[in-house]
Amino acid sequence: MSQRRDSRANAERIVEATRQLWKGQGAPSLEQIAATAGVGIATLYRHFPNRAALEGAAFTQIFNDEIGPIIDRAAAADQVDLVDVAEQLIAVIGRYAAVFTAIELPQVTDEALETLAERFLELIRDGQEEGVLRRDLEPVDLFWVLRMLVLGLTSPVSSPTVRRRYLALVMPSLTPEGPPLPPLTRDDYERFGVAEERRGPMSG
């Protein structure tokens, strides 16, 4: 195996170890991650100079491997079942619920919107054009709705029937029949870490 291939394999093991540890605890130490990946801490730092770089790589992998396909399938479907899509997203995000509550929210928002930008935004646009999603909906709105649902529906006392019941209660609020949404302020967007071009409704 070439040195370059070996180096790439080490980086992949480190990212995978991060994902696996995230499923069990919110913020494992870099030493724990290195040990789980079977590499030394110096090797970890050689690939990822700080925690933010490693978290960014791990989030990108999660979004590409686990969340992206859900969005792609929904975008390709003739009719979108919002409750079903939300159930699938919550099942994925719920596996990492501990880390989603432990790290900075602007970072997660930025990673989600940047990594899934085109697929995610296209799905919202299609839903708005087909009259399935409300016109004043923004990508950051979906992130926050999902986050609230994840925090509530990954409780130890939750169940598939509980999740589906409360998703069926909440998801209709994303449809065009609801009253106008109160606008977010510039300070809100700043706290969320939303880029200027991603602020405001996607369609009129």
Give a yes or no: residue 135 inside a domain. Answer: yes
Question: In terms of domains, do 26 and 102 share one?
Answer: no
What is the three-state SS of the chain? CCHHHHHHHHHHHHHHHHHHHHCCCCCCCHHHHHHHHCCCHHHHHHHCCCHHHHHHHHHHHHHHHHHHHHHHHHHHCCCCCHHHHHHHHHHHHHHCHHHHHHCCHHHHHHHHHHHCHHHHHHHHHHHHHCCCCCCCCCHHHHHHHHHHHHHHHCCCCCCHHHHHHHHHHHHHHHCCCCCCCCCCCHHHHHHHCCCHHHCCCCCC
In a domain, 204, yes or no: no
Residues 82 and 16 in one domain: no
- Whether 13 and 70 share a structural domain: no
pLDDT tens by residue, 31-89: 999 999 999 999 999 999 998 889 888 888 888 899 889 888 887 888 878 888 888 98
Instruction: Kindly state whether residues 9 and 92 are assigned to the same domain.
Output: no
Do 23 and 79 fall within a single domain?
no
pLDDT at 108 over 60: no
**pLDDT tens digits, residue range 18-34?**
999 988 766 789 999 99
Q: Are residue 92 and residue 28 in the same domain, yes or no?
A: no
Model confidence at 113, in pLDDT bands (50, 70, 90)?
Answer: low
* pLDDT tens for each residue of 147-163: 788 778 877 788 889 88
Number of domains within the chain: 2
Q: Based on the domain organization, do 27 and 93 belong to the same domain?
A: no
Rounded to an integer, the average pLDDT of 177-201 is 85
